[in-house]
Amino acid sequence: MGIESLDRLAPGRAEFDVAEVATSDAGLRQVLHGLPGVDQVGVQERVAGLATRSVKKDSKLRALDLAIRMVDLTTLEGADTPGKVTAMCAKARHPDLADPPAPPVAAVCVYPDLVPVARAGVAGSDVAVASVATAFPSGRASLAVKLADVRDAVSAGADEVDMVIDRGAFLAGRYGQVYAEIRAVREACGPAHLKVILETGELATLDNVSRASWLAMMAGADFIKTSTGKVTPAATPAVALVMLAAVRDFELTAGRRVGVKVAGGIRTAKDAIRYLVLVNETAGPAWLTPRLFRIGASTLLNDLLMQRTKQRTGRYSGPDYFTVD
Amino acid sequence: MSAIEPTQAAPADQDALAWEYAPAPESRDIVTIAPQYGLFIDGEFRPAAEGATFATLNPASEEKLAEVAKAGPADVDAAVTAARHAYDRVWGPMPGAERAKYLYRIARVLQERAREFAVLESLDNGKPIRETRDVDIPLAAAHFFYYAGWADKLEYAGFGLDPRPLGVAGQVIPWNFPLLMAAWKLAPALAAGNTCVLKPAETTPLTALLLAEVCQQVGLPPGVVNVLTGAGETGAAVVTHPDIDKIAFTGSTEVGKQIAAAAAGTSKKVTLELGGKAANVVFDDAPVEQAVEGIVNGIFFNQGHVCCAGSRLLVQESVADIVVERLQRRLTTLRLGDPLDKNTDIGAINSREQLDKITELSAAGDAEGARRWSPPCPLPGRGYWFPPTVFTGVSQSHRIAREEIFGPVLSVLTFRTPEEAVAKANNTPYGLSAGIWTDKGSRILWMAQRLRAGVVWANTYNRFDPASPFGGYQESGYGREGGRHGLAAYLDA
Amino acid sequence: MPDRANGDRPQTRLGVRKTYKLFIGGAFPRSESGRSYPVHSPGGDLLAFAAKASRKDLRDAVVAARGAFAGWSGATAYNRGQVLYRVAELMEGRAAQFAAEVKAAEGLRRGPADAVVAAAIDRWVWYAGWSDKVAQVAGAANPVAGPYFNFSVPEPTGVVAVLAPAESSLLGLVSVLAPAIVTGNTAVVVASEHRPLPSVTLAEVLATSDVPPGVVNVLTGIRAELAPVAAAHMDVNALDVTGAPLGERGALQVAAACNLKRVYADHERWDEPPGTRRLLSPLEIKTVWHPAGI
């Protein structure tokens, strides 16, 4: 029933005014609570089943390079400095100078005030600059402050903006407010791509993850993202599975492909490849591109590089052979 | 509302090439398959008295794995005699606490040799290593663990103050879960103090014989477990042997009826776990994504060679198109092929005979006007294979909605109201299992009360556990396996 | 049929005799075959004619029992317990009549006949109390190794064909009937062939108690005619062969295999204080799984 009611949102098949639905809490509630339920145990079992996929040899090498190209290399610390960001940008452009060299990562992800530094650091490369904004990570600020935060980041050269939703408003059922904020941020982004962080660790249930995913997509997100990385649990395979199913179904309904970013706690190549398996078998191979799937991480990159070296040389490598930037 | 209008079509993406997982075969070197296997009688392996043998094949390649002794009446007699002797002299008088320790030992060795058992089972049966490794073998060990703990607690099981074993149990098991079915039979029987004559299926004898070796390794007294390989005549000789006190059979309803008739007028106690034609009922408020997984798991787990398979999908008409569309999309991700490949989801059909039966019933589905669909799925050139298949437009009157296909073939029917769902689900002489998918708790309980089936999975499917009783209503058999109830089958209770 | 009570004084009122009929679906039809057979006391006196049920009567009784199954098995256990207890109450009120009939049917003296009736009434009370306890005794919550709530409950098997003990006209019948129906099964009872009359009177009690029509159906007639038909009936789920001699049971069990009827051939004696074997026999264990998650 849920999917059917959403089908009505599809262009050309609208049976009621979408704008009207989207601006009222009640209308959004009707849509979001009409989504099919998500059975947590069933999701866990599916995830456990997919975790047994064995990725070896050529398919592993391809997965490792793909995963590197999907990384949003991230530093989001109070102690971040221009030096730290500049070094990270160098690593993002040339993660490993082995033969053949590892591909660059998708983007660097920093706080808004460090966007100019990052912009300079990646100049001349395809590496994008992503900035968190909207009073990251808590999002506890007025809309005006959040929008100023976004405009700062974009005017400083951010290609991508990672915003946080107001989880308090979402949990209180003020879906209209969450929707309106995302719309406003979307507009403030201008040409920049918008990633909407759901902070799934605070949403608690997979039903909420599904609803928040749809809410963000309806409001115009280019990506939906699991976590800030500041809350535990951050990304989990179960949450990713639900979000990947949501973007798949959203495309069928609305005709628009939304990306997924998992962030927080993904540290090993094995974890990354498991996420790629989830993408491949849930959203489908069309999502196996940095344009539609990202992994927010910092330490993950070196493990990907180390495994890549192992696959190419047949020898196990060690951390001394990879840069710490 | 530009955000939900289609933007420009996503550009063709070079990345979005199919990402194939490279072959990841489990090594078969871990098992050593002997060219010849004997019968396991009175603690020793020996050839059949008449010297008869038969071949067991790898159904994925039709390669012969081994030549196996074919037990005749003299062998059956020898095995029953050994079991009787062991019952009278050793196992019957043994304190339950000691019996328990033998069962714990068996459980441990099954865990220690799990990978070996898993590979051997996949080779002999054709099922994917993912299933033997993650389901069959761990559950078999778990059954021995569970029933081991009962062996010295029988007087607390609720069957009276001094529950007595029945004596010698003749146990005939099928080919779909060879080792697991052996565990389901042996563990409660031995815990209760019976001795056993086990007849594995003709096409899958090897893991039962490896289990016999485990019995030797744990020092189980001779005659407590005897394994007789053979075909239908061997099984018939076991169940009709006059010195058998208890018959436990898992297999077809047709043979189950023959056994029930054969035991008529005797003092033999009989439990039967037979066929099914389970309805998996999906309501319009189901958690669709998990329901699709449950449908897939319900009918394509173990190539559908499952007596409790959810072979009839009853889907509420208002969501039928959505569910079928999602199901089809999901089925395109299934990987069919080498059972030893760790990424294989669908393995080989167990035998030529079974493949012929599946093929014949599917042809009947076509002939009766149902619409057949399978995902693009190249089949290997050798071995016995059948693609995952979905029939839509099926009615209750179609053969594919009534007869047990025992293969990867799903029949999709629709219903309009809960009452109609119950009526259609129960409209079968079988009654083994059923599935319910809905987010509404009260409807789950309402349905669960009305479905005439021994196992009801609500918002899940095909879950098994040694603590959970399993068995059917009506022509799906009688008696339960698993849990405290499973113990009753082997006690004079 | 000498009317002993009035035999000495023909000038007093002539007694009105009862016609003994079948009990099917809450009604008291004669056999559709029109047949009856004479019933004698152990001493050889003609007591009455009983209806001689045919195969078609048995078929009708099964249809009635099947029709009553959903309602009876769906009633609350508390309700079924009350209904059975109500039967005991009504029997108590007609104890003298039952005692007289048992006395005549079985050739007992007054004292033993009274004791038989008392025991039969007490059987109803005993089994009435089981209605809302059997699920707690035979069911279970099962600790499976995973995030599931899993429980097992006993459910009635369905339509049970009961061959009542041959030697006991009332207590035997009650001892095999009450345990079958208390859990929600419906029953087709073949009464004692040679001592059928108290079973018809019991049926009259059932008809005027709260037992829904079709839950109990009582057939009088020739066991050797009826039992094989019941055993082979595809819409009968269970068969209690207590009333069949050992020599007949094998053939009945063979016939019962046609649809895998649950056959109760236990040697638990009906004339001893009952245990639970008979009670638990026509039950199926249903196990329900549900995930536990948020």
For chain A, give every domain's residue range.
42-321
Q: Domain count for chain C, please give it.
A: 1
Which residues 219-238 of A are in CB contact (within 8 Å) with B?
Answer: 219-221
In this prediction, residue B332 carries a pLDDT of 96
pLDDT digits (tens, 9 = 90+) for C131-140: 999 999 999 9
Q: B133: helix, coil or strand?
A: helix
* Residue of B80, B196, B97, B113 whose CA lies nearest to B152: B97
Name which of C257, C258, C289 is nearest B463 (Cβ-Cβ).
C289
Pair of tokens at residue B6: 């289609």
Residue C294 at interface with chain A, using a CB cutoff of 8 Å:
yes
CATH code of the domain containing C163: 3.40.605.10
Interface residue C259 vs chain B (CB under 8 A) = yes
- Is the pLDDT reported for residue C10 higher than 70? no
Residue C27 Rama label (left phi>0; alpha psi -120 to 50; beta): beta
Give every CB contact of residue A229 below 8 A, 6+ residues apart in sequence: A74, A76, A137, A263, A264, A265, A296
Interatomic CA distance for residues C245 and C261, integer angstroms: 19
Structure tokens at B12: 């063709």
Tell me how far apart the alpha carbons of residues B452 and C284 are, in angstroms, rounded to a whole number: 9
- Interface with C, mutate which of B111, B473, B475, B484 (most C CBs under 10 A): B473
Are B22 and A58 inside 8 Å of each other by CB? yes
Q: Are A242 and A38 in contact (CB under 8 A)?
A: yes
How deeply is C201 buried, as exposed, middle or buried, from its count of CB atoms within 10 A (0-12, 13-18, 19+)? buried
Q: How close is the nearest chain B Cα to the Cα of A78, in Å?
A: 34
- Average pLDDT for B305-331: 97
Cα B456 to Cα A323, B288, B317, C94, C156: the distances in Å are 56, 19, 22, 45, 16
The reply to whether C165 falls in a domain is yes
Question: Secondary structure of chain B: what % helix, strand, coil (to 5)?
Answer: 40, 15, 40
CB contact under 8 A, B480 and C259: no
CB within 8 Å: C147 and A42: no
Is the Cβ pair B16, A53 closer than 8 Å? no
Structural tokens at position B342: 């760790």
Q: Show the tokens assigned to B46.
A: 């020996």
Q: Which of B2, B288, B460 sits opposite A36 (nearest CB)?
A: B288
Q: Which two tokens stand for residue A97?
A: 């100078």
Cβ-based contacts of B465 with chain C (< 8 Å): 142, 144-146, 150
pLDDT at residue B350 greater than cutoff 50? yes
- Per-residue model confidence (pLDDT) at position B12: 45
Chain C touched by A187 (CB under 8 Å): no
Give me the CATH code for the A42-321 domain, please.
3.20.20.70
Complex ipTM more than 0.90, yes or no: yes
Q: Is the pLDDT at A10 greater than 50, yes or no?
A: no
Q: How far apart are CA A233 and CA B33, in angstroms?
A: 48
How far does C138 lie from chain A, in Å, by closest CA? 29
* Partners of residue A256 in chain B, C-beta under 8 Å: 3-7
Per the CB < 8 Å rule, is A44 touching C294? Answer: no
| Cα angle: B143, vertex B144, B150; to 5 degrees | 95
Q: Is B348 left (phi over 0), alpha (psi -120 to 50) or beta?
A: beta
Res B15: pLDDT:
59
Considering only the beta carbons, identify the residue of B263, B265, B460 that sits closest to C289: B460
β-bridge partners, C273: none
Chains with 3 or more CB pairs under 8 A to chain B: A, C
Q: Within an 8 Å CB–CB cutoff, is residue B429 touching chain C?
A: yes
Nearest to B256 among C140, C143, C260 (CB): C260
Q: Which domains does chain B possess?
A: 28-274+475-488 (3.40.605.10), 279-466 (3.40.309.10)
Computed over its alpha carbons, how large is the radius of gyration of chain C? 20
> Which residues of B are the active-site residues?
273, 307
- The number of beta carbons lying within 10 Å of the beta carbon of residue C13 is 7
Task: Tell me if B225 sits within 8 A of B212, measured CB to CB.
Answer: yes
Lowest model confidence (mean pLDDT) among A227-241, B12-26, B46-60, C215-229: B12-26
End-to-end CA distance of chain A: 50
Residues of chain A with Cβ-Cβ distance to C292 below 8 Å are: 41
In C, minimum Cα distance to B423 occurs at C70
Q: What is the mean pLDDT of residues A10-19?
A: 43
Question: Residue A39 and residue C147: Cβ atoms within 8 Å?
Answer: no
Neighbours, chain C (3 or more CB pairs < 8 A) = A, B
Shortest CA gap C182–chain B (Å): 17
Per-residue pLDDT band at A129 (split at 50, 70, 90) = very high
Q: Answer for the pair C159, C65: CB distance below 8 angstroms, yes or no.
A: yes
Query: In this structure, what token pair is assigned to residue C210?
Result: 């709260």
Instruction: Write the DSSP symbol of residue A285.
Output: G
Mean pLDDT of the residues in chain C: 95
Neighbours of chain A (3+ CB pairs under 8 A): B, C
Residue C153 carries which side chain, given as an amino acid letter?
A: V
B463 touching A (Cβ < 8 Å): no
Burial B427-462 (b: 16+ CB within 10 A, else e): ebebbbbbbbbbbeeebbeebbebbbbbbbbbbbbb
pLDDT of residue A98: 81
Taking only the tens place, the pLDDT of each residue in B406-416 is: 999 999 999 99
Residues B437-475: pLDDT tens digits? 999 999 999 999 999 999 999 999 999 999 999 999 999
> What is the reported pLDDT for B45?
98
Residue C269's pLDDT is 82
Mean pLDDT of all residues in B388-400: 97
Token representation of residue B214: 């485990």
Closest CA to C171 of C190, C211, C198: C198
Q: Quote the minimal CA–CA distance from C113 to chain B in Å.
A: 33
Output the CA torsion sign for B129, B134, B136, B142.
positive
Residues B371 and B410: beta-carbon distance below 8 Å: no
Q: Does B379 contact chain A (CB < 8 Å)?
A: no
Which amino acid, one-letter code, is at C267? H
Q: What pLDDT, on the 0 to 100 scale, is given for residue A19?
A: 59
Domain assignment of residue C12, yes or no: no
B445 to chain C, closest Cα gap in Å: 9
Interval B283-308 mean pLDDT: 97
Q: What CA–CA distance (Å, rounded) separates A219 from A177?
A: 11
Inter-chain contact B284–A1, Cβ cutoff 8 Å?
yes
Phi, psi of A222 (to 5 degrees): -85, -30
d(CA B212, CA B226) in angstroms, rounded, equals 8
**Structural domain of residue C198, as residue ranges?**
20-291
Q: If you average pLDDT over residues B70-82, what whole number do you get?
A: 98
- Pick the closest to residue A207 from A238, A168, A250 (CA basis): A238
Give the separation between CA B254 and CA B406, rounded to whole angstroms.
14
Give C145 to chain A, closest Cα distance, Å. 13
The span from the CA of B441 to the CA of B439, in Å, is 6
Exposed e or buried b for every residue in B159-178, given b needs 16+ CB within 10 A? Answer: beeebebbbbbbbbbbbbbb
pLDDT tens digits, residue range C14-41?
999 999 999 999 999 999 999 999 999 9
Question: Is residue B6 predicted with pLDDT exceeding 90?
Answer: no
**Residue B1 pLDDT exceeds 60:** no
Q: C136 — contact with chain B (CB < 8 Å)?
A: no
Confidence of residue A301 (pLDDT cuts 50, 70, 90): very high
A12 pLDDT tier (thresholds 50, 70, 90): very low
Active site residue A162: yes
Q: Return the half-sphere exposure (C-beta side, CA atoms, 13 A cut-off) of residue B252.
A: 11
Q: Are strands B168-172 and B44-46 parallel, antiparallel or unpaired?
A: unpaired
- Greater pLDDT, C60 or C1: C60
Is the pLDDT at C277 greater than 50? The verdict is yes
Query: Could you say which of A162, A166, A207, A271 is catalytic?
Result: A162
Provide the pLDDT for residue C96.
Answer: 97
The verdict on whether A230 is a catalytic residue reads no
Inter-chain CB proximity B261 and C144 less than 8 Å: no
Task: Name the β-bridge partners of B37.
Answer: B68
Question: Structure tokens of A86?
Answer: 């500049």
Instruction: Round the average pLDDT of chain B to a whole number and report it.
Output: 95
pLDDT in tens, A260-276: 999 999 999 999 999 99
Q: Is residue C88 part of a domain?
A: yes
Q: Give yes or no for residue A237 having a pLDDT over 70.
A: yes
pLDDT bucket at A14, cuts 50 / 70 / 90: very low
Is the pLDDT at A189 greater than 70, yes or no? yes
Mean pLDDT of A174-184: 96
pLDDT of residue C266: 84
Which 3 state secondary structure label does DSSP give A13? coil
The whole-angstrom separation of Cα C281 and Cα C258 is 19
What's the burial of A174, exposed, middle or buried (CB within 10 Å: 0-12/13-18/19+)? Answer: middle
Kindly give the residue spans of alpha helices, DSSP state H, lying in A33-94.
Answer: 40-50, 57-70, 82-93
Number of CB atoms found within 10 A of residue B370's CB: 23
SS3 state of residue B428 = coil
Rounded CA-CA distance B385/B466 in Å is 31
Confidence of residue B493 (pLDDT cuts 50, 70, 90): confident
Q: How far is B333 from chain A (nearest CA, A)?
A: 6
In a domain, residue C68? The reply is yes
What does the block give as tokens for A9?
């949102």
Place of tokens 């103050």: B161
Q: Which residue has the tokens 């789950």?
A: B444
Higher pLDDT, B383 or A324: B383
B303 contacts B346 by C-beta, under 8 angstroms: yes
Question: Is B482 exposed, middle or buried, given 0-12, 13-18 or 19+ CB atoms closer than 10 A?
Answer: buried
Distance CA B458, CA A64 (A): 39
